[in-house]
Amino acid sequence: MTYIHKPVLTKEVLEYLNPKENENFIDCTVGQGGHAKLILEKTGPNGKVLGIDADQEQIKNCRELLKNFEKRLILENDSYANLPKIIKKENFGPINGILLDLGMSSWQLEKSEKGFSFLKDEPLDMRYDSKNQNLTAEQIINEWPENKIEEILKEYGEESFARQISKKISEERQKERIKSTFQLVKIIENSVPKKFSKIHFATRTFQALRIAVNDELNNLIKVLPEAILALSQGGRIVIISFHSLEDRIAKNFLKNKEKEKIFKILTKKPITASNEEIQINPRARSAKIRAAIKL
């Protein structure tokens, strides 16, 4: 049975993408197709969605879950950083909107067995694309210099105890190779003060490792200019971020393009989830939407 992921901010995504009959959209992180399904419902009878995902299993999940739309859904197992190549390959256009949902899916946490969750004892992998990516979280933890690990925990995880955690990792890996999530969780637990934060003490470290393994921030920086070029005039871009660094990249990019009179920003402040949605779907708590329209 496929674990069903609950997409965030669906009402807001539809409001800012504003999909209409027979229009075409790209979902750069299609996952299990939650947002793509809503777009396809609005763009019949001939509108198409090009769904991209680096995770091969997610492409399979999406194909199965959205089989009713198979004639209007094109799926590509690739990184959205390769957007121009994918568009050219599929000869896809005109493009009326692009969605970038930068969060990971519940399926990846619950079912992928790749070590994304600190609540399950799994190998420290964390690659979205196991076929084409070589770097794993296990390699970072065991082979990168201590100061480099500290750097990514600080930068990507905004972890206050980056130095203590990286030092402890360095000590423990000399005794034995750190291969599993629970080994790492134990090390983090022994490095940070008890009851320090509202969130789980391993959250920031796991987030930092995932971002580093998948080069997520550089991929975002790479795709945004390509998204502009791909969009038709009047086309819209919607970016959902879950991390302050991602949000900053999106905010600064859109601001600069508005100054250049290429985009008009539709969200003067980032749009966040309602209390009702957060109660139903706690993942939405940290989600922020920024949107713009191409002039």
Q: Pick the residue with more confidence: 276 or 163?
A: 163
Q: How far apart are CA 21 and CA 11, in angstroms?
A: 18
Residue 232 pLDDT more than 50?
yes
Count of other CB atoms within 10 angstroms of residue 98: 26
Query: Mean pLDDT, to the nearest integer, of 9-31?
Result: 95
Please give the share of the chain, as a percent, with pLDDT higher than 70: 95
Residue 289 binned pLDDT confidence (cut-offs 50, 70, 90) = very high
CATH, domain range 113-214: 1.10.150.170
For residue 231, give the nearest of 86, 38, 25 by alpha carbon. 25
Q: Does domain 10-108+217-294 have CATH number 3.40.50.2300?
A: no
Helix, strand, or coil here: 189?
helix
Residue 2 binned pLDDT confidence (cut-offs 50, 70, 90) = very low
Residue 151 binned pLDDT confidence (cut-offs 50, 70, 90) = very high
Mean pLDDT rounded to a whole number for the chain: 91
Model pLDDT for residues 64-112, shown as the tens digit of each residue: 999 999 999 999 999 999 999 999 999 999 999 999 999 776 666 667 7
Question: What is the per-residue pLDDT for 225?
Answer: 97
Per domain, the residue ranges of the chain are: 10-108+217-294, 113-214
Residue 3 pLDDT more than 70?
no
For residue 237, give the nearest of 291, 177, 174, 295 by alpha carbon. 291
Question: What is the per-residue pLDDT for 32?
Answer: 87
Model pLDDT for residues 121-142, shown as the tens digit of each residue: 999 999 988 877 889 999 999 9
User: Distance of CA 198 to CAs 13, 201, 203, 274, 276, Å?
Assistant: 29, 8, 10, 20, 20
Query: Mean pLDDT, to the nearest integer, of 267-280?
Result: 88
Sign of CA dihedral 275, 280, 284, 286: positive
Residue 197 pLDDT more than 70?
no
Q: How far apart are CA 65 and CA 53, in angstroms?
A: 15
For residue 156, give the nearest of 98, 78, 218 by alpha carbon. 218
Task: State the helix-helix crossing angle for 10-17 and 34-42, rounded to 10 degrees.
Answer: 40
Residue 4 pLDDT more than 60?
no
pTM of the model: 0.89
Residue 1 pLDDT more than 50?
no
For residue 180, give the nearest of 133, 130, 137 by alpha carbon. 137
Query: Mean pLDDT, to the nearest integer, of 154-183?
Result: 96
Q: Are 3 and 107 in contact (CB under 8 A)?
A: yes
Sign of CA dihedral 82, 88, 89, 93: positive
Q: Are 69 and 46 in contact (CB under 8 A)?
A: no
Question: What is the per-residue pLDDT for 275?
Answer: 86
